[in-house]
Amino acid sequence: MRFRRVAKRITWSIGATLLLLTVLLYGVLPPVLDRRDGTPRPSGPLPQSAILPGSVVPTTRFLERPDGRIAYDDSGGAEPLVICVPSLGDLRQEYRLLTPQLVAAGFRVVTTDLRGHGESSARWPDYSAAAVGSDLVALAQELGAGPAFVIGTSMAAGAAVWAATEAPALIAGQVLIGAFVRDYPVGYESSFAGDLLIDALFAGPWDAPAWSLYYQSLYPSTPPADLARYRGALKANLREPGRFDALNAMLAAAKSDIEPRLRLVRGPSLIIMGTSDPDFADPAGEARWIAAQLGSAPVLVNGVGHYPHAERPDEVGAVIVEFLRRVS
């Protein structure tokens, strides 16, 4: 009997401890991270509230796909057409500092939301780079404006490579920024503990503020003046049902099918990489490797992170405009 009483007390103690930990994790951690994150609540409809103050809010259009719809906006005008595809865990307003430069240079600019992100449908059966690439091809066909240049950031760069090799008649060239086009680049070592930590950070009611804090780290040098407000809009969007599931699915998606396509790309390519991009063990080395596969030379932006076009918009925008003018 004594053993049973002791066992019961131990069981209750363990249960109470687990309950306390659960309360702390689910009830205390999210607001603590929110306060640590420090982003303001967005004003106005999402995700348009992420655009620059005073800018014209573009009309959202939709591309119908078999499993959902892809949101995009269109500056209008004649060709040449440039389609901008954002990084995972981001909005099409990622290009808010680059788009005005492209339009002023005479380009028609279309920016899209990824599957599961922004105003696109939240739930899809496939979130791979190839699936995003198929959306890109379908959008180019829908727009019917001739071959398009594609600007893709992070995993969207892999989607651009897929589209360029799958439908070369529709893709005139590409700009790849902070590109993920293969699984774990040489020099990157993933640990089981590290993977578990990432899974824990981006799962649960604290996922959106945790992502927002991580997102801030991607701008190590000169973050945009509106970054806090932008992160607030992004965080609010990621809290919508299904959004973070889409982000996690894209994070987990393999990119091994993109790597062999690199040498099949025939159009001109521009590779841009921040030398302090925290997503790569050796950003400059990875950029040089990608450029070698594509027969081009990388543009390395000293001291910036994963979004060179947002940290140094004038410098990087000028490089992109010059490239597009030269090859269009």
When pLDDT is cut at 50, 70 and 90, the band that residue 180 belongs to is very high
Measured CA to CA, the distance from residue 162 to residue 138 in angstroms comes to 13
Model pTM score: 0.84
Measured CA to CA, the distance from residue 135 to residue 151 in angstroms comes to 14
Give, to the nearest 10 degrees, the angle between helix 207-217 and helix 192-201: 120
Task: Retrieve residue 39's tokens.
Answer: 């982003």
Is the model's pLDDT at 33 over the cut of 60?
Answer: no
> What's the pLDDT tens digit per position in 60-76?
999 999 999 999 999 98
Task: Give Cβ neighbours of residue 144 (< 8 Å, ≥ 6 apart).
Answer: none
Q: Tell me which residue has tokens 């990084």.
A: 87
First vs last Cα of the chain: how many Å apart? 86
When pLDDT is cut at 50, 70 and 90, the band that residue 199 belongs to is low
Q: Is the peptide bond before 47 cis (omega within 30 degrees of 0)?
A: yes
When pLDDT is cut at 50, 70 and 90, the band that residue 193 belongs to is very low
Residue 200: the pLDDT is 53
Burial zone of 27 (CB within 10 Å; 0-12 exposed, 13-18 middle, 19+ buried): exposed
% of the chain with per-residue pLDDT over 90: 70
Measured CA to CA, the distance from residue 290 to residue 29 in angstroms comes to 40
Is the model's pLDDT at 183 over the cut of 60?
Answer: yes
> What's the pLDDT tens digit per position in 142-179?
999 889 999 999 999 999 999 999 999 999 999 999 99
Residue 19: the pLDDT is 42
When pLDDT is cut at 50, 70 and 90, the band that residue 7 belongs to is very low
Strand bridging mode 148-153 / 171-177: parallel
Measured CA to CA, the distance from residue 294 to residue 157 in angstroms comes to 13
Calculate the average pLDDT of the chain: 85
Residue 204: the pLDDT is 62
Of 32-41, 224-233, 312-321, which range is least confident? 32-41
CB atoms within 10 A of CB 71: 20
CATH topology of domain 48-327: Rossmann fold (3.40.50)
Measured CA to CA, the distance from residue 151 to residue 159 in angstroms comes to 10
Domain ranges of the chain: 48-327
Amino acid, res. 214: Y
Contact 270, 328 (CB under 8 A): no
Residue 58: the pLDDT is 79
Measured CA to CA, the distance from residue 230 to residue 41 in angstroms comes to 10
> What's the pLDDT tens digit per position in 98-126?
999 999 999 999 999 999 999 999 999 99
Task: Supply φ then ψ for residue 310, to 5 degrees.
Answer: -105, -30
